[in-house]
């Protein structure tokens, strides 16, 4: 038996809200930047001829994308090459807004299986990642202060029901059920609503020992408290 549970009733709604806010902010930045540009101003970068897929604008088609100062300023059928300081030929390639990785491990100094988020995202087309239980209550503050705050990638997290998260990996974190502290986990959720989107519970037999559904019940209870 191998399975994982991530318990949070409003998870999909919250991720949808994050995506909507990002899309709205992107459109506002684009509008502001376009107003500041003159017709002869050059883009720092133009991505040319890609198949652009952007659900926030109901857009699917071949487009050029103009970028200046790190902001998408124009999405047009064609942007003249003369207006670009640098171009990338994206012909035959799919171009999307930054995607979301819902399950990754990005706590490289607090877990044996973590890697830096900024080294990960550039190879998989994501700009937002979700740490899947790397940290529990005991080491959550360090994840937020030393990893999240210093990463360019946007990072959210599931807090692990086990206080020590995955810091002892490969030693199972839930062999001792006393590691699963509902009240402390619930408090972490309440104190970090902008960062935490749920609770991680690993339910593999080699993790939960003989505790059955008790870890899962505690994870659900922490979300409901």
3-class secondary structure per residue, 30-89:
HHHHHHHCCCCCCECEEEEEEEEEEHHHCEEEEEEEEEECCEEEEEECCCCHHHECCEEE
Cα–Cα distance for residue pair 144/192, rounded to 1 Å? 10
Cα–Cα distance for residue pair 219/120, rounded to 1 Å? 28
| pLDDT tens track for 101-117 | 999 999 998 888 899 99
What is the predicted pLDDT for the residue at 112? 81
Band of pLDDT at residue 94, cut at 50, 70 and 90? very high
Percent of the chain scoring above 70 in pLDDT: 83
Q: What domains lie within the chain, and their CATH numbers?
A: 4-8+98-224 (3.20.20.140), 37-95 (2.30.40.10)
Cα–Cα distance for residue pair 89/51, rounded to 1 Å? 11
Quick one: average pLDDT of 33-62?
86
Q: What is the pTM of this model?
A: 0.77
| 98 close to 125: Cβ distance less than 8 angstroms | yes
- Going 111 to 112 to 118 to 123, the CA torsion angle's sign is negative
| pLDDT tens track for 160-210 | 999 999 999 989 999 999 999 999 999 999 999 999 999 999 999 999 999
| pLDDT tens track for 119-140 | 999 888 899 999 999 999 999 9
């Amino acid at each position: 038996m191998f399975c994982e549970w991530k318990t949070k009733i409003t998870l999909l709604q919250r991720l949808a809200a994050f995506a909507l806010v990002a899309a709205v902010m992107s459109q506002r930045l684009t509008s502001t930047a376009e107003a500041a540009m003159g017709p002869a101003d050059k883009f720092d970068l133009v991505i040319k001829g890609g198949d652009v897929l952007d659900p926030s604008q109901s857009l699917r088609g071949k487009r050029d994308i103009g970028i200046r100062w790190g902001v998408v300023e124009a999405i047009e059928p064609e942007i003249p090459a003369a207006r670009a300081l640098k171009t990338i030929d994206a012909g035959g390639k799919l171009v999307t807004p930054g995607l979301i990785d819902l399950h990754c491990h990005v706590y490289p100094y607090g877990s044996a299986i973590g890697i830096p988020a900024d080294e990960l995202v550039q190879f998989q087309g994501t700009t937002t990642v979700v740490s899947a239980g790397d940290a529990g209550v005991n080491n959550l503050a360090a994840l937020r202060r030393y990893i999240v705050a210093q990463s360019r990638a946007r990072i959210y997290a599931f807090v692990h029901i086990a206080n020590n998260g995955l810091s002892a990996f490969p030693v199972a974190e839930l062999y001792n059920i006393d590691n699963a502290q509902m009240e402390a986990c619930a408090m972490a959720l309440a104190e970090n609503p902008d960062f935490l989107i749920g609770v991680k519970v690993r339910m593999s037999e080699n993790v939960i020992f003989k505790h059955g559904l008790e870890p899962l019940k505690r994870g659900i209870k922490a979300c409901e408290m």
